[in-house]
């Protein structure tokens, strides 16, 4: 009987864990549509759209002509930010297990000319509700980091 209970517990744990796989990406997919951002950089439009048959999410910062692609990578969510300055940092978020915050940590960066050149290092997305979120982007240049916060509201 103990073995049966232990087996059921293990099965339950595995099913619960697999239910969270991709939950951050599913949460990200809920952003599809038009958003307006306000922050220290002023106002801008942001568009989210599903691409590649729904397996990736493209975020376009319209006024800056910058794109970020989000996609699942096992239980994590991976993103590549195609920056207007010409480099492409990649960041990974380990599963937040359905929380209201997804934190992307630096993995590597393509097309960086020198180690102290400016590039994005971190992104934290906090969901307030279905129509409001904040993004905290961290920029690193010459060994110093600067955080910029964007407040996004869904355009109806």
Q: What is the DSSP string of 6-39?
A: HHHHHHHHHHHHHHHTTHHHHHHHTT-EEEEEEE
Domain assignment present for 17: no
> Which CATH number characterizes residue 142's domain?
2.40.128.20
What pLDDT score does 107 carry? 97
Domain assignment present for 4: no
Domain assignment present for 131: yes
Domain assignment present for 48: yes
Domain assignment present for 114: yes
What pLDDT score does 63 carry? 85
- Retrieve residue 24's tokens: 């951050």
Cα end-to-end span (Å), the chain? 56
Q: Is the model's pTM score more than 0.95?
A: no
Cα 21 to Cα 19: distance, rounded to the nearest angstrom: 6
How many domains, in total, are found in the chain?
1
119-137 pLDDT, tens per residue? 999 999 999 999 999 999 9
Q: Give the mean pLDDT of 60-83.
A: 94
Report residue 76's pLDDT band, with 50, 70 and 90 as the boundaries: very high
Q: Give the mean pLDDT of 81-110.
A: 92
23-53 pLDDT, tens per residue? 799 999 999 999 999 767 678 899 999 999 9
Report residue 14's pLDDT band, with 50, 70 and 90 as the boundaries: very low
Residue bearing tokens 């934190």: 103
Domain assignment present for 12: no
Domain assignment present for 116: yes
Report residue 6's pLDDT band, with 50, 70 and 90 as the boundaries: very low
Cα 10 to Cα 15: distance, rounded to the nearest angstrom: 9
Segments forming the whole domain that contains residue 65: 22-154
Domain assignment present for 36: yes
């Amino acid at each position: 009987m103990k073995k049966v209970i232990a087996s059921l517990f293990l099965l339950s744990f595995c099913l619960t864990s697999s239910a969270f796989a991709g939950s951050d990406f599913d949460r990200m997919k809920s952003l599809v549509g038009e958003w307006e951002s306000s922050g220290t950089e002023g106002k801008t439009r942001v568009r989210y759209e599903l691409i590649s048959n729904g397996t990736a999410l493209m975020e376009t910062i319209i006024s800056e002509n910058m794109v970020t692609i989000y996609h699942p990578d096992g239980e994590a969510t991976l993103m590549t930010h195609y920056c207007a300055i010409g480099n492409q940092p990649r960041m990974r978020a380990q599963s937040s297990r359905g929380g209201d915050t997804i934190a992307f940590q630096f993995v590597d960066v393509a097309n960086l000319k020198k180690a102290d050149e400016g590039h994005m290092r971190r992104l934290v997305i906090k969901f307030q509700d279905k129509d409001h979120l904040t993004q905290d982007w961290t920029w690193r240049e010459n060994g110093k980091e600067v955080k910029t916060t964007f407040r996004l509201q869904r355009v109806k």
